[in-house]
Amino acid sequence: MLVGLTATLFRVPTTFISLIKADVVWFKYTRGWVGSNRLPLEETLCSLTVQQSLPTCFPDLRLEPCEQLNTNSIDALNIRFYLGFPLRTSKDIIVGVLAIVDNEPHQPTSAEFSLLQDLAELASVLFELKRTRPTLTTLARKKDAQHTITQTMSRMHTLATRRDLNMFAGLGNGNLYSTIGQEAHELATYIRSNYLLSRY
């Protein structure tokens, strides 16, 4: 659901959440991804995001190619634009990347950059919630969390898909991104405080 929301918001053909395991990148949750579901770490732009522990952006790989990697897979997929944010666990370990990709160049705005950061924070918390092993006590609480997550995600998706109406009403891209980013941040904070408190 989060990957679909991200694709709708940024209007890019490809969005994914990748998970890093050893020297392999698994493309676990994807929209529009046509490559292999796993690639060697050294062949992916995700590896730079993980190594640098920072957001990684390539506005146009044709004009400014990445020289640190084996680019065979990147070239084969005709990737020109990449923006990826690291996903961190409660112990500040990077486990994956939320990324948007296109075969056309892009120069992300500060509003887009900030929005993807908020969505990556939410993805990190959702990953943490999913990987906790439920006990009889926590299972019911996780179901409550799932209800809140579903409601909030549906609301954000409605805002995103009604973009044209939002523009007509004066909620421009910057304000739309800010509104959805705030929703994502508040949901992440809510989950962290109420369901992952002992882990943070």
Going from N- to C-terminal start, the domains of the chain cover 2-199
d(CA 40, CA 27): 11
The CATH superfamily label for domain 2-199 reads: GAF domain (3.30.450.40)
d(CA 109, CA 88): 23
Give tens-digit pLDDT for 109-164. Answer: 999 999 999 999 999 999 988 877 555 455 566 677 788 888 999 989 988 887 65
The reported pLDDT for the residue numbered 200 is: 37
pTM of the model: 0.88
Q: Is the dihedral of CA 178, 130, 28, 125 positive or negative?
A: positive
What parts of the chain have a pLDDT lower than 50? Answer: 136, 168, 198-200
The reported pLDDT for the residue numbered 188 is: 94
DSSP string, the chain: -HHHHHHHHHT-SEEEEEEEETTEEEEEEEES--S-SEEEGGGSTHHHHHHHTS-EEES-TTTS--SSS--HHHHHTT--EEEEEEEE-TTS-EEEEEEEEESS-----HHHHHHHHHHHHHHHHHHHHHHS---HHHHHHHHHHHHHHHHHHHHHHHHHHTHHHHHHTT--HHHHHHHHHHHHHHHHHHHHHHHSGGG-
The reported pLDDT for the residue numbered 168 is: 44
User: b/e per residue, 70-89, with b = 16+ CB within 10 A?
Assistant: eeebbeebebbbbbbbbbbb
d(CA 39, CA 24): 6
The reported pLDDT for the residue numbered 102 is: 95
The reported pLDDT for the residue numbered 176 is: 85
The reported pLDDT for the residue numbered 164 is: 57
Residue with tokens 């190619």: 65
Sheet strands side by side (includes 94-102) = 38-40, 24-31, 14-21, 94-102, 81-88, 56-58
